[in-house]
Structure 1
Amino acid sequence: MNIPVLYIFSGLPASGKSTLAKLLAKQTGAMYIRVDTVEQGLRDLCNFNVEGEGYRLSYRIVRDNLELGHSCISDSCNPIKLTRSEWQEVAEYAGAKFVNIEVSCSDVIEHESRVNNRECEVANLKLPTWQQVKSRHYESWESDVVKIDTTGQTVEASFSELIEKLSVQKSI
């Protein structure tokens, strides 16, 4: 039996991470979980202010699937060392491998345009404004991470780059 892999996506809103994460899920058959969807579901169903609960619930769902031998993809901003290490602990607890993937859009003008022009994919979710994205706390990575800068690239080119980098690491 193959050891499952947890693909841990991170990056600011509108960087392209959800698009790439979903394409990877489609190609690999890995279970996909988007923390935005979980958090908005908690808001809609439980009517309370969501803080870390979306991540905590997602960790449990992903751990269950990894333990069943299913590779998983987590899609979230994952902006701080705490959540990054917690995702890794989920994989380690389940005896799975993990790979950190950071998606960015380094061109400020292109990134702002994406933020201002994208459509919401999660029912009832209020997307952040450009000012909120710029102001968001996002810590630099201190550990190994596969970096994909989607600036000036087609979705297909960014996805090909991701697959190539994962192949080199033998993570796919």
Structure 2
Amino acid sequence: MLIVFSGLPGTGKSTLARQLARKLKSTYLRLDTLEAVLLSAGFQATVEGYTALYNLAEDNLRLGQTVVVDCVNPLLVTRETWHEVARRCSSRCVDIEIICSDRAEHQRRVETRREDETTHAGEWRPPTWPGVQASDYQPWTTPHLRLDTAQGTPQENVEALTQLSGMHGVFER
């Protein structure tokens, strides 16, 4: 199964994706980590990062692993490509969009992130609040799970996600 966490920076998707991957004992792939390596090697990060991540996910799905992907996933084309990856591997693809509906809380999270909490050495830097606001994040047109992290602790939000997904039979094989 391929589980793709999507959402703007600062919504809490990395925290939730890591915790779910740990809970499911699955492979965790994070775009920011990959982009940091690409940037430090002198490459552009956007298209190349997603392409590399698609291939890493496919390799692990072909091994029978559950794969949890953590990326902004802002465009219809990137969302469709994750489903293509899953189809090629005869796997199910589950889309989970993480939002933070409290604008002040979202801004606080973005502005108080420390680089050592968000990525590794390299040229990659976490986005600023103006950068998040200017993001081209296209509205969803396909079915997906959606969790608002404006309230609750990360542990409470993982539990809410587990309950939400359980109602939809998402993590059952």
What's the TM-score, normalizing by structure 1?
0.94
Residue of structure 1 in register with 2:67 after alignment: 72
- Relative to structure 2, which stretch is displaced further, 22-31 or 117-126? 117-126
- Relative to structure 2, which stretch is displaced further, 104-113 or 162-171? 162-171
Unaligned runs of at least 5 residues, structure 1: none
Could you tell me how far 1:112 is from its partner in structure 2? 0.4
Matched, 1:12 2:8: yes
Give the whole-Å Cα distance in 2 for the aligned partners of 1:138 and 1:90. Answer: 21
Q: Match of 1:102, SS?
A: strand
The sequence identity of aligned pairs, in percent, is 36
Matched, 1:122 2:119: yes
Give the whole-Å Cα distance in 2 for the aligned partners of 1:108 and 1:48. Answer: 33
Matched, 1:43 2:43: no
Could you tell me how far 1:154 is from its partner in structure 2? 1.1
Could you tell me how far 1:25 is from its partner in structure 2? 0.4
Q: Match of 2:46, SS?
A: coil
CA RMSD of aligned residues (A): 0.9
Within 5 A, what are the aligned runs for 1:1-172? Answer: 5-44=1-40, 46-120=41-115, 121-123=118-120, 124=122, 125-172=124-171
User: Runs in 1 of length 4+ with deviation above 2 angstroms?
Assistant: 48-51
Give the whole-Å Cα distance in 2 for the aligned partners of 1:34 and 1:164. Answer: 24
The one-letter amino acid of 1:133's match is V
- Relative to structure 2, which stretch is displaced further, 77-86 or 123-132? 123-132
Task: Tell me the number of residue pairs that the alignment of Structure 1 and Structure 2 aligns.
Answer: 167
Give the whole-Å Cα distance in 1 for the aligned partners of 2:15 and 2:8. Answer: 13
Could you tell me how far 1:48 is from its partner in structure 2? 2.4
Per-residue displacement from partner, 1:111-151 (whole Å, max 9, x unpaired)? 00000001222123311110000110101111111000000
Could you tell me how far 1:12 is from its partner in structure 2? 0.2
Could you tell me how far 1:49 is from its partner in structure 2? 2.4
- Relative to structure 2, which stretch is displaced further, 150-159 or 8-17? 150-159
Give the whole-Å Cα distance in 1 for the aligned partners of 2:44 and 2:136. Answer: 19
Give the whole-Å Cα distance in 2 for the aligned partners of 1:89 and 1:136. Answer: 24
Could you tell me how far 1:171 is from its partner in structure 2? 1.7
Give the whole-Å Cα distance in 2 for the aligned partners of 1:139 and 1:129. Answer: 19
Give the whole-Å Cα distance in 2 for the aligned partners of 1:31 and 1:48. Answer: 25
Give the whole-Å Cα distance in 1 for the aligned partners of 2:133 and 2:39. Answer: 24
